[in-house]
Amino acid sequence: MALDALALTGLAYTAYVYATRRSRRHPYPPGPKGLPIIGNILDMPKEREWEVYHQMCKELDTDILHLCVAGTHIVVLDTYEVASDLLEKRSTIYSGRPRLPMVVELMGWDYNFGFMDYGDRWRAHRRLMHNSFHPTAALKFRPHELEASRVLVKRIYEEPDDLLESLRIFSGEIIMSSTYGLSISSKSSKYINLSREAIDPVVPALVPGTYLVDVIPALKYVPDWFPGAKFKRIARENRKMAMKVREVPFADTKSEIATGVARLSFCRTSLEMARTLEAEQMLEREELIKNVAGTLYGAGADSTMATVGTCILALLNHPEVLRKAHEELDRVLKQGALPDFEDMENLPYITAIVKESMRWRDTAPLGLPHVSQVDDVYKGYRIPKGSIVIPNAWAMLHDEDIYADPLSFKPERFLKRVETKDGIRYELDKSVRDPSFAIWGFGRRICPGRYMAASAIWMAVASLLAAFDFTQFEDGSPDLNHPYMPGGLRVPKPFKCKIRPRSPEIERSIQSIDADLGIL
């Protein structure tokens, strides 16, 4: 047996050496010519990276782009074909994550499984989350989403000048309610504020080049008093907040479970399923539950808010689309009523608006990067082990071969006209590619909470359009050139518009929301 094991080891090593030498005989994918030592560091875009990378691909006539920055290989995938071939069909070797010294090792976000490298630890967290958020399981959280949407409508009615802030609170309330079972009320604000205070410094820290320690990891060992070590002090403070995000709401949820008042949630369900485990296994499972729960707010709050905000921006500049949406809602809903999930099937135009909003200005144009775990050869090109692999989702969602006139906002692209005995109606055109193919990530790193996020976005958009009429100011603001926040996540900068209830009946429904829900 020992000889057999030795032989197998030798065979595996020989195969590895052969594959490595074979890959090195191939050229890198096309890319701009770099300089000695620093490589393509001067070619790296400073803003709107997705558009710059796409333009590079067009100029070089390639759908896979290579850059090398001070010895680090970066591979950008510009079409769905190459993203699918590598990140999905070869997911076993393209599911890693790059090392993040500042965020993971110093700031203390090592429990966030979105940042974890591919392996057994990541798989355990992913499996636990999948159990609660796969398509069927995610349906049980729809009451949370419906409740939060009603509260959103009431909040905007009372504070119409704080639209994006209301959307941000809405996103946080859904996540806190679904994750921990914490009531959607004024009490939830402390948890949302805690999470935002902890996560806000993380967003810029994820942008390459923000902190030198990400380029030179050994800097994490310099003492806090050392000149230029301000990043150590920033990380130390954020580490405390990262731990609070994980511990505080989880402890409060366990207290509610113990007293029998806990609402349905990811934590309650997961802890109940773990009751039969032995003591040591129970402790391990509890750590997993706590980690996954602590990951959820950062994973979805800003992206949900950004998508709905982008949708409102688009409708302000396309009043004809808003008019058609209102006409459909008036045909389907009773006068003064707000939508329910049961109405979704009969509101295809609203669904088309949501799909187009997610495609037109996707919130994560480049997503989170993958890392190749071995040397690979694709289309005759060499992709070295350790390469940072970036799928350009924006380019895929603006591919003219998939979506005609891709820069324009056209919900009708997802609809088809159908003649019936009762007249002309519209329904979703399933022959048009759903933008979800690129929005939520790829392969084994695809967003596991996408089903809940998608239904929350739909309900928010449907509720707001049923309740309000949105119009620009007389000067035409905000327009389609309204700025977005810098960074890898595209979030609109705050904007104001005219918001008014669509009818006296709907206004009375909005005013009665608190009483209907029994919110404290």
Rounded to an integer, what is the distance from CA 49 to the centroid of its chain? 18
Tokens of residue 193, six digits? 């504020």
Q: Provide the annotated binding site.
A: 447
Peptide bond into 435 cis (omega under 30): no
Distance from C-alpha of 388 to C-alpha of 96, rounded to nearest angstrom: 9
The CA angle 113-141-439, to the nearest 5 degrees, is 50
Torsion angle, CA of 118/120/122/125, rounded to 10 degrees? 160
- Tell me how far CA of residue 249 lies from CA of 183, 185, 244, 271, in angstroms: 12, 15, 8, 14
> Where are the extended beta strands (E) located within 53-113?
64-69, 72-77
Nearest to 390 by CA among 103, 16, 69, 106: 69
The CA angle 309-314-320, to the nearest 5 degrees, is 135
Nearest to 352 by CA among 311, 319, 390, 406: 311
> Is-contact 207 217, C-beta < 8 A?
no
Distance from C-alpha of 324 to C-alpha of 157, rounded to nearest angstrom: 22
> Is-contact 102 205, C-beta < 8 A?
yes
Q: What DSSP string describes 160-220?
A: TT-HHHHHHHHHHHHHHHHHH---SSGGGHHHHHHHHHHHTTHHHHTSTTS-GGGTSGGGG
Q: At what angle do helices 279-316 and 230-259 cross, to 10 degrees?
A: 110
Which of the 8 DSSP states describes residue 26?
S
Pairing of strands 381-383, 468-471: unpaired
Q: Provide the annotated binding site for heme.
A: 447
